[in-house]
Amino acid sequence: MNSSTTLWEYRLQSEDAGQKYLSILKHKFHFSLKVLQHLKEGERVWVDGHFTYLTARGKEGEVLSLQLFAEEETTIEGEDLPLNILYEDDYLLAVNKPVGQVVHPNHRYPCQTLGNAVVGYWQGRGEHRLYRPIHRIDRNTSGVVIIAKNQFSHQQLAWQLERGHIHKRYVGFVQGLLRENSGTIASPIGFAANSFIKRQIRDNGEPARTNYRVLHRYAGVSFLEFTLETGRTHQIRVHCESLGHPLLGDDLYGGDTTLIGRQALHSSVYAFLHPATGLPLVIRAPFPADLKDLLKALKP
């Protein structure tokens, strides 16, 4: 088994007896039909070390083993770039994305992206994988980004994300002093008029909910924690502007750039269930240097 292959194993319990392996994987572990089809076509399913069919029925105590994926070629060019790894195992990679770096290559940013860095890191270890980020954060937002290392992990984490089982926490500095210590902003978001970049509150926009809590109040600045119930583009930035308290440094949404030249927003915590073990996993990203400098500059 090569370095780009992961073996997933499960010992059948009493409630699994008589069930088809296909049914166990689909209903108990939420395997997608696409992943199951790939397993079937690749003959990558074994029971107690012997090849089996997904339609066969299981017995209590059997060990079901799956070779989750083989090598996969990517069209992203690998580059030797710095990569701040927070966590890594056979199923996922968590990194602390720096300010100014785009998550995925595009026509405006074809290189020097997080995708180029991750692919280059894998290639340096002799691994060939597709780049599968679970979510994206803005170029000038720092913090946690999770990358699935195989199709199974991507499908499992996407399933959690769609159902609100992944908890994302951000911290940011906004202009002014909020009266309330906590609250929820539930305003729909859509494109601003005549713009393909800027968003705004719109009655016909997509539903969006942001919860916030004041962590500290400085002179004219509030330090907030945000938890998201939805994941719209620029959600925190737009919702903060709608409160009349834009993020410091966020010139697109009216933020003052005197103390910092980018939106003072950081993806600090990403909590979810591990795609293979089902156990809780919490990824935390420390502050980057510019936010540490901002803290020093703020007056009590």
Q: What is the CA 71 to chain-centroid distance, rounded?
A: 23
What pLDDT score does 2 carry?
45
Structure tokens at 29: 């572990």
Contact between residue 202 and residue 189 where contact means Cβ atoms under 8 Å apart: yes
- 138: annotated active-site residue: yes
**DSSP states of 78-101 as a string?**
P------EEEE-SSEEEEEEPTT-
Last residue within a domain, chosen from 67, 82, 107: 67
Low-confidence ranges of the chain (pLDDT < 70): 1-5, 69-71
CB atoms within 10 A of CB 243: 17
Residue type, 193: A
CB atoms within 10 A of CB 275: 27
Cα(194)–Cα(113) distance, rounded to whole angstroms?
28
Residue 84 lies in a domain: no
Residue 206 lies in a domain: yes
Residue identified by tokens 């030797």 is 80
> Pick the catalytic residue: 16, 138, 250, 290?
138
Cα(289)–Cα(7) distance, rounded to whole angstroms?
39
What pLDDT score does 3 carry?
47
What pLDDT score does 5 carry?
62
Residue 83 lies in a domain: no
Q: What is the CATH number of the domain that holds 215?
A: 3.30.2350.10
Residue 57 lies in a domain: yes
Structure tokens at 251: 């010139």
What pLDDT score does 34 carry?
82
Q: What is the CATH number of the domain that holds 37?
A: 3.10.290.10
pTM of the model: 0.84
Cα(156)–Cα(136) distance, rounded to whole angstroms?
17
Structure tokens at 291: 């936010």
Residue 30 lies in a domain: yes
Total number of domains in the chain? 2
Going 287 to 288 to 292 to 294, the CA torsion angle's sign is: negative
Residue 21 lies in a domain: yes
Domain range for 189 is: 167-267
Residue 96 lies in a domain: no
Residue 24 lies in a domain: yes
